[in-house]
Amino acid sequence: MDNQLDGQQDLRRELTRELDRMAPGSAERAGIEARLKTVDARITSLDQQIAEADARVAQASAVPGAIVPPPPRPLAVGYARRLWKRSATAVAELPREWAERFTRLEQAVDAVAVELERVGEGQRFVTNLFAEQGGRALGAGSAEPIEMRQREPMRQSRP
């Protein structure tokens, strides 16, 4: 209803301006004065409707003269505003202990990478060695066979 009231008040201002520009006694002046009376009646009616709606809201809430607050702003707008304000602040430096820990972590990862590369080189070397020997196992034929003793049968005890 507030939008309707604002629209009617804007229309009244425009009609008043036109009326001020016209010469007194012109035929158009009477028409604009009639429209102005109609707009005034609408504004009065809208004011009464708004007052009645406020009274019904106050009565429903059991608080005389209560006014319904406007709805809150959307959460996304508030969050975006917070991010925008926060971006203007300077970024704090990391604590010294954290920087030292990150440095040690980086060195440890580098050491693991070097060792992993060495393992990979060893695997490539062994694979090439097997390929050159035609798939024969390393050291095959150079070991002496192991002799196994025969198992003795278990003795059964008699009671």
For residues 74 and 24, state if they share a domain: yes
Number of domains in the chain: 2
Residue 149 domain-assigned (yes or no): no
For residues 107 and 55, state if they share a domain: no
Computed on alpha carbons and rounded to an integer, the radius of gyration of the chain in Å comes to 48
Q: What is the pLDDT of residue 130?
A: 84
- How many CA atoms lie within 13 Å of 9's alpha carbon, on the beta-carbon side? 9
Q: What are phi and psi of 76, to 5 degrees?
A: -65, -40
For residues 13 and 46, state if they share a domain: yes
Spell out the residues 6+ positions from residue 5 whose beta carbon is closer than 8 angstroms to its own: 43, 46, 47, 50
Tens digit of each residue's pLDDT (9 = 90 or more) over 80-104: 777 777 655 555 677 889 889 999 9
Residue 24 domain-assigned (yes or no): yes
1 touches 46 (CB < 8 A): yes
Max Cα–Cα distance, the chain, nearest Å:
148
The alpha carbon dihedral of 128, 134, 138, 142 has a sign of negative
For residues 74 and 8, state if they share a domain: yes
For residues 12 and 74, state if they share a domain: yes
For residues 70 and 98, state if they share a domain: no
Residue 46 domain-assigned (yes or no): yes
For residues 11 and 47, state if they share a domain: yes
d(CA 98, CA 104) in angstroms, rounded, equals 10
Tens digit of each residue's pLDDT (9 = 90 or more) over 3-58: 887 888 888 888 888 888 887 777 788 888 888 899 889 888 888 888 888 777 77
Calculate the alpha carbon distances from 4 to 39, 44, 119 in Å.
11, 12, 81
Q: What residues make up the domain containing 74?
A: 2-78
For residues 7 and 36, state if they share a domain: yes
